[in-house]
Structure 1
Amino acid sequence: MTTTMTQSDSDGPRPARATMKDVARLAGVSVKTVSRVVNGEPGASTAVRQRVLDAAERLDYRHNLGASTLRRKDARSGIVGALLQDVGNSYSAGLLRSLEDALRPAGLSVLAASLDEEPERERGIVSDLVARRADGLVLMPATHRHEYLLSERRAGLPMVFVDRRPHGLDCDSVTVDNHGGAKLATTHLLSGGHRRIAMLSDLEEIETAVERRAGYRAALDAAGIEFAPELLVHSVRSDLEAARTVTELLDLADPPTAILAGRNIITVGTVRALRAAGATREIAVVGFDDFPLADLVEPALTVIRQDVQRIGAEVGAILLDRLNGAGGPPRHLVIEPTLVQRGSGEIPPRLPQRSLPRP
């Protein structure tokens, strides 16, 4: 049924919403019976249950979940808070959808928020969710230490860290091998003959960025390639900054022949800069994180893919286990990323490289 608001809808006083007493009167049952039916509790026959549901529909009754939460012994709200860095980013959006798919069959709704790498924002939102009696938390933290959650942890609030590990308390986490993924990407470029490989990275203090930079350097070390400081650029936060950085790298006296983009938004800016320079088929690119349309650009983008569907499903499964009373030590699941070759990462160097050792 669709209701369209007209001018008369807003002119008069707002009609009172139907209550359990109204439903009970129409259905010819007690208020307690209505309460059992709307809360999914046993004790009402099939015929009585249907009569209550029919009455509720006729009256457009909406159950007050918040009020019933205060009365129930288990004090469940049916809400899980998911604090991610940016729900507009394709990685966070995919993770959120997978988490919703995992929790919805259990009757749980996900309340999501973006943290934007702001620690105080994280603490404030966590405080709000706790006050609203959230059943659990999923955290992609902006904070670097997490002792502030110890009291909630002791109180039994289930929480799962995702993408970044907890520090200062021990609780469940699902992360990706960022070091291994960046090393895999760099090694792939090295195997294609590249020696001048640039990397564009996120903020210096972000744990995932630190691990990816370390993986990049580990691959260079393993190949006997001397690290060139001018080719590692950190604190790249947007596609515009990435495009500007790539343009500056291309202007170097000895420019890179390949680029490792440290996250999906950086990959977008990298492609834009290379297109503007007419160099999309001259500079090899591997992006960390897959994203929609990555396979449709020319050349299609080679990426290190994080399996966001699996990550969200694993987070949801752990959280449900904890909500259902599972004990035991915290679980720390590390998922291996994969290299997806599509063309951009397989472009050979434009010119013969100087006589440097091959990997």
Structure 2
Amino acid sequence: MLRKDLLFDNGGGSKHRLDFKKIRDIDKLLLISTIVLILFGILNIYLCTKGDYGFLYAKKQFIWMIISLVALYIFISIDYRVFYNYVPVFYWASIVLLLITRFAGTVVNGARGWLKFGPISLQPSEIAKVAMIMMLGKMLEEMDNDINNFKNLVKLSIYAGIPMIFIIIQPDMGMTMVCFFIVLGIFFVAGLDRRIFIGGFAALIVVVAIVWNVGLIQDYQKARITSFLHPEANATTTGYHLSQSLISIGSGGVVGDRPSLYNDGTSGYAAQHVPEVQTDFIFAAIAEQWGFIGVVLLLIVYGIAITRMINIARTAKDTFGSVICIGIVAYFLFAIFQNIGMTIGLMPITGITLPLISYGGSSMLSIVMTIGLVLNIGMRRKKIRF
């Protein structure tokens, strides 16, 4: 029987096109807020890099936006249940990429976490993050959501742990934390027993202590992570990022200080003094440029996107769809809290970027892919009567 949500080309091979009967059910607020966040990110990437690089970083991010929107179209065109059948392939392919990265990857900021193909750089851990969410969703559906069965929990933990082990040994503690809190969010919503949660946190403390002391994390990385406790004591060394970030955020005031918006020769304080301002510390530049009001508006847009994703998760027609939504919600909540927290001295400094805002093609692509799946799930949460 021909499915009415997919249009097939009879000439050898299949072609998927968006069904306009279903496009009417797309969550417009989620789609619009996603695009707004991406465009606002590109604007701020340009403002904080134009002094030294002109349009270079903004242009690269714009190209990745086009690629991501194409991926978004694909991911909302095909019924997400089709992806369900290929989740194991996607998952193990991402593990293979992580394995290749371990031996042939490029070192960036102390972590061997990138693969380079000419001018294109790919971060396999971003792909593994999406694959892990989808794999957990598929497994929970096959288990009828019986997460408190010991055998099921062990199996889920193994599949969640495999990509995290490869990411830990890069070492990329930021992405490891992201994956952990994604799994934590999924397990919590799936109904994991509270006693197991307590045991899990105890195990996490042990693992962190081991990783911290066996040499996987270099001394300079440890110093950077712990510098938030006493930034003033190391303002010119390990606390330099944070001290300059705080100055930038404070200078923004209520309405912001936007010299880079009006003067081609000036990029603002954050752009000139905060390292990695277009990636990890872009919030400092945003707070300087747009002030408290701009930050509040940014958080409102994030809030709209997260609320819509939670709504889709609650009304999804199956466990697979619900888990995908919860996974991306957990990612957004943790990444936003951690990224902003580290720029204002409330959280340790890690390499966690601000979703859809920070510079990074692999990150944008993976996030937009998952948002495409969430939109797909929302469009197909109820059957259409013809």
Larger helix proportion, structure 1 or 2? 2
Q: Same fold (TM over 0.5)?
A: no
Larger radius of gyration, structure 1 or 2? 1
TM-score by length of 2: 0.22
Larger strand proportion, structure 1 or 2? 1
